[in-house]
């Protein structure tokens, strides 16, 4: 391993809405949870390789009074029923204007997930669908991969260090040594 090489990948953390499941704004209804293409297969592959998986998600609907913590918990339970158990969950319930330290693009939730998993942030990757996701990964010292959706702003895609067309391509990208920006 060279002086600037990353240590082996020990965890992949995911944004929830728009990355693991289809984004339904402020969803409090478990019946509306629909996995993104390849999500289950990618998670099963990672688990079979002994790589921990987790979810790091801003859930401002709680702070806005649109969702209860119980509704978010019910949606998260449905996510696990469809995609399997996650090793760690980190959620920020605050609104953007609250000035909290945990909301992405701040690195706190990624750092917290890694701490709970007993790994360094350099041993983790974070996959998300917007600029705040890859900014949080960078700030934490984790590898960030963007899987954009049609709602992702083009400037955010352009600024992302690594971009993949879907979760399967993101997994392939992570299994290769980082080489800067790559489109799959």
Model confidence pLDDT, tens digit, residues 148-160:
999 999 999 999 9
* Residues paired with residue 91 on neighbouring β-strands, in sequence order: 57
Q: How many angstroms separate the Cα of 75 from the Cα of each of 55, 69, 82, 162? A: 13, 10, 11, 29
Domain limits for position 85: 14-175
Active site residue 166: no
Instruction: Give a yes or no: residue 4 inside a domain.
Output: no
Model confidence pLDDT, tens digit, residues 94-138:
999 999 999 999 999 999 999 999 999 999 999 999 999 999 999
Pairing of strands 124-128, 143-146: parallel
Active site residue 17: yes
Beta strands in the chain (DSSP E): 11-14, 52-58, 88-92, 124-128, 143-146
Instruction: Give a yes or no: residue 124 inside a domain.
Output: yes
Looking at the 3D structure of the chain, how many domains does it have? 1
- For residue 137, the domain's CATH number is 3.40.50.1000
pTM for the whole thing? 0.93
Instruction: Give a yes or no: residue 7 inside a domain.
Output: no
Provide the pLDDT for residue 7.
83
Instruction: Give a yes or no: residue 78 inside a domain.
Output: yes
Instruction: Give a yes or no: residue 183 inside a domain.
Output: no
How does the average pLDDT of the chain come out, rounded? 93
Q: Which of 17, 23, 41, 129 is catalytic?
A: 17
Nearest residue to 31 via CA among 19, 39, 21: 21
């Amino acid at each position: 391993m060279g002086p600037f090489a990353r240590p082996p990948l020990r965890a992949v953390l995911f944004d929830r809405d728009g990355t693991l499941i289809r984004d339904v704004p402020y969803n409090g209804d478990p019946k509306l949870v629909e996995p993104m293409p390849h999500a289950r297969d990618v998670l099963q592959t990672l688990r079979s390789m002994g790589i921990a998986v987790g979810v790091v998600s801003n859930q401002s609907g709680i702070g806005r009074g649109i969702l209860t913590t119980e509704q978010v918990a019910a949606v998260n339970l449905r996510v696990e029923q469809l995609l399997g158990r996650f090793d760690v969950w980190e959620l920020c319930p605050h609104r953007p204007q609250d000035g909290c330290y945990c909301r992405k693009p701040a690195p706190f939730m990624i750092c917290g997930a890694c701490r709970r998993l007993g790994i360094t942030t350099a041993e983790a990757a974070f996959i998300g669908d917007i600029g705040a996701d890859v900014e949080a990964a960078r700030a934490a010292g984790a590898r960030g991969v963007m899987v954009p959706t049609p709602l992702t702003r083009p400037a955010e895609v352009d600024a992302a260090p690594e971009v993949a067309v879907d979760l399967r391509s993101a997994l392939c990208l992570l299994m290769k040594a980082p080489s800067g920006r790559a489109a799959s």
